Structures are given as C-alpha cells and as structure tokens.
C-alpha cells in the first residue's frame, strides 16, 4: 500500500512516496515533465513492493501530460480537486507552504482516502480538442466584445449612435451590417454632405454590393438623423485610419469566433451523445458543443449529484443544532465556463418558453413563486444537468462496446 503524492507545477513536479503510519518510502524529489524523467518515475513506482496509487491535484492544464503518461503505464492515478487537498488535515498552527510539504500532504491524503479514490480516465483526443476549442472560443468572444466596445467608443466621436441603426444578426463569416456601414460611412459628414437623393442612391448601391436588403425608408431615416448629429473628431485621414483599424480588429475577432463556433459543432457531432444533447430544449449548435466540451464524458460521474457538484450548482447545507438555513448558496467550485453555459441555456429557455419542457416548467414555477433571479436560474441549471446526465448515460449504455 504505497501512496504517491505529486505536487504539480508548470514543467516540473515534486514527488513523495509514503506507506501507512507515516513510513517514508522516498523523501520528496523533483522530476521534470520530460519523457526521460517520467519514465524514471514509472520505474521507481514499479520497483516499490505492494500496490501503489498516485494522487495529484488537477491544477490548470499542468497535470494532464503527467496523468496521461502515468495512466498509459497502467498505474492507478487519481486527479483531485485542489480544494479537497487544501482542506485536508489542517490541524497545525504552523503554516508551512512548500512543494516538498505539499507532496507529503497529498501522499497522506491518498492514504487516508485510499478506498474512495477514483481512477483518472484518459479523455480521448476528440474531447481534449473540443475543450481546448471552447476555451479559445471564450477567449476570442471576450476579445470581440472588447473590440466592439472600442469601435463604438470611437464612433461616438464621429458618428454617434450608428451602431444602433441595424439589428441584423452576424453572418456566418462574422460580418455585421452596422460594422460594414460604419466602415463606409465612418463620419456623419460622409452622409450629410450629400443630398438626400444622392445618399439614397449611394446607400442602395452599397447594399447591393454588400448583399444587404435595401429600404428607402431606412435610408431616409439615416439621412434625417445625420443632419442632427454633432461629431467631435474631424473628418480627415487620421480619424479615418483610426476607425479603419478598429473595424479591422473587430472583423478579425468576429471571423475567428464564427470559425471556432462552426469547428466546435463539427467536432462535437463526432461524439456519440451529440444527437441526444442537440435534441434538448435550450441547446443549439453553439451552446450544445460548449456543454459537451465542459462536461466531458458523463460515464466518469457515478450519480446525478456528482455532475451537479462538478458544475458547482449543487445546493449547500448549513445546519447546527436547531438552526437550519433554508437558503444556502451553491458551492461554485466547478468550472466557471460550464456554469456560464448553463445560465445561457436557462436564458434561452426563458426567452423561447417551450411549454412542454420540464426544465422550463420548473423555471416558470420558481419564478411564479417569487424566487430571486439567481435562485431560480441555478435551480434550473441543476435540474437541466440531472436530465442531461440521465439521458446521455442511458443512451450511451445502449451503444455497443468498442474494442
């Protein structure tokens, strides 16, 4: 019975090996995340007599290469939430924080929780790619929002309110009508220096060239508003350059976001649960792949409560003696990206109001009871996850086992 505690950091790890009653098999030693060092660690572990179990924290992405290689060597590996390790055995008044001390603490945790340790399952390459794409999607979406706000801020000094003229959704290539309009008519003087008829003719040709619908009443409305606007920046080449750069940055980010959205849907469609997830209300070609990316393989969860705890939308408990808190905040200890996606699904359900959907019925019931926004949204996310788990696991159980 050998507990191998590994404190993982970027590019290297500290390893300690212990047996029950505090017996030190190997004092803490450092390894690099290289094939030679990892192979040496595998040899050391295999050379120790008795069953060995390896425990490490799933810190960021640093642990994945090490966990993957050790699992591939047929060793028992368990990746633990860092919060559990942090809260374990804090019975000393001295605060000791070092890689060596942490590796020993992890090894002691492994011994104490030996029977409850769950083996790390190597996520297949497709799921790793999907999760990586989703994180990139989130990054570029934030970047797109920043670029959008930057462009609007500049245009408020040359053509105030131009971003509100059109509400057309983004095209498949990420382009938007108001951005294309602002790129051509980047200053209010680009419109009002023409006569009304000249602008209408110019705008009609622009719509045809850009393949947008033309409306004469809309053109007249735009021209009428332009007459009343007061710009701050002058209509010159320097101002034009600033706006063109901002437009190019936004278009670049928008294109990347839409390409990732399409690629994620194509990748997710290759996973077995794709059809089941996509048939759930509130889920579409954007949110569906995001859910699948963050939840991963549901077979690693033993029961419905495990998946809600993983997402951090499980209700807490606060009881002591005769005191029982009736409304307890959720743990929020799971991936924030998953909770964000779940809230977006709940938002879609509230807007589309599918009367036959059990999650929407539950949400509507909680709202009718006067529950606060975050209470009914979190409760809805919890119910949605439980249904997700049940449907997907039941479907996967019907599939033939692959060799």
Dump pLDDT digits (tens) for 179-223.
Answer: 999 999 999 999 999 999 999 999 999 999 999 999 999 999 999
Q: How far is CA 62 from CA 34, 59, 66, 78, 364, in A?
A: 13, 6, 8, 15, 42
172 exposed, middle or buried (CB, 10 Å; 0-12, 13-18, 19+)?
exposed
d(CA 285, CA 306): 26
66 in Cβ contact with 10 (< 8 Å):
no
CATH fold of 2-122 reads: Nucleotidyltransferase; domain 5 (3.30.420)
Q: How far is CA 163 from CA 152, 177, 182, in A?
A: 7, 9, 8
Phi, psi of 347 (to 5 degrees): -65, -40
Contact between 219 and 192 (Cβ < 8 Å): no
Segment 277-302, tens digit of pLDDT: 999 999 999 999 999 999 988 887 88
Q: What is the pLDDT of residue 323?
A: 47
pLDDT at residue 124, rounded to an integer = 63
Residue 13: the pLDDT is 87
The reported pLDDT for the residue numbered 316 is: 53
Beta strand extents in 75-142 (DSSP E only): 76-80
Tokens at 306, concatenated: 């495990």
- Predicted pLDDT of residue 90: 64
Max Cα–Cα distance, the chain, nearest Å? 91
Residues 192 and 151: beta-carbon distance below 8 Å: no
According to DSSP, the β-strands at 76-80 and 319-320 are: unpaired
Query: What is the pLDDT at residue 96?
Result: 58
Would you say 88 and 63 are in contact if contact means Cβ atoms under 8 Å apart? no
Instruction: From residue 47, give the alpha-carbon distance in Å to each of 51, 226, 274, 281, 382.
Output: 11, 80, 44, 53, 46
Write down the pLDDT at residue 92. 58
- Name residues of the chain where pLDDT drops below 70: 89-97, 121-124, 315-333, 401-403
Q: Which tokens is 274 given?
A: 């794709």
**Residue 111 phi, psi (nearest 5):** -65, -40
Which tokens in the block code for residue 315?
A: 């209700």
């Amino acid at each position: 019975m050998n507990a191998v505690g590994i404190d993982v950091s970027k590019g290297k790890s500290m390893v300690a090996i212990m047996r029950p009653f505090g017996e030190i098999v190997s004092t803490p030693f450092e390894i690099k995340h290289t094939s030679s060092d990892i192979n040496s660690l595998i040899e050391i572990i295999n050379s120790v007599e008795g069953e060995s179990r390896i425990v490490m924290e799933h810190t960021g992405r640093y642990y994945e290469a090490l966990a993957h290689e050790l699992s591939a060597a047929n060793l028992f590996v368990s990746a633990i939430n860092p919060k559990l390790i942090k809260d374990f055995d804090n019975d000393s008044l001295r605060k000791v924080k070092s890689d060596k001390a942490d590796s020993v603490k992890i090894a002691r945790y492994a011994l104490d929780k030996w029977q409850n340790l769950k083996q790390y399952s190597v996520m297949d390459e497709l799921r790793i790619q999907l999760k990586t794409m989703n994180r990139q999607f989130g990054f570029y979406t934030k970047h797109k929002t920043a670029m959008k706000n930057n462009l609007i801020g500049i245009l408020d000094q040359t053509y105030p309110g131009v971003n509100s003229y059109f509400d057309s959704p983004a095209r498949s290539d990420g382009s938007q009508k108001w951005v294309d309009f602002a790129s051509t008519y980047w200053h209010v003087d680009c419109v009002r220096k023409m006569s009304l008829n000249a602008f209408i003719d110019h705008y009609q040709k622009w719509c045809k060239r850009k393949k947008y619908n033309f409306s004469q009443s809309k053109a007249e409305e735009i021209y009428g508003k332009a007459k009343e606007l007061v710009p701050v920046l002058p209509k010159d080449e320097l101002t034009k350059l600033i706006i063109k750069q901002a437009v190019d940055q936004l278009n670049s980010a928008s294109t990347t976001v839409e390409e990732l959205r399409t690629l994620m849907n194509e990748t997710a469609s290759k996973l077995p649960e794709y059809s089941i997830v996509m048939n759930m209300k509130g889920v579409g070609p954007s949110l569906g792949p995001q859910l699948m990316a963050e939840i991963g393989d549901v077979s690693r969860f033993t029961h419905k409560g495990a998946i809600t705890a993983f997402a951090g939308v499980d209700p807490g408990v606060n009881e002591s003696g005769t005191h029982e808190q009736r409304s307890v905040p959720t743990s929020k200890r799971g991936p924030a990206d998953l909770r964000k996606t779940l809230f977006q699904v709940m938002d879609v359900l509230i807007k589309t109001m599918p009367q036959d959907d059990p999650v929407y019925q539950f949400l509507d019931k909680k709202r009718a009871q006067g529950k606060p926004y975050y209470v009914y949204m979190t409760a809805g996310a919890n119910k949605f996850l439980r249904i997700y788990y049940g449907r997907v696991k039941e479907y996967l159980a019907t599939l033939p086992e692959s060799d």
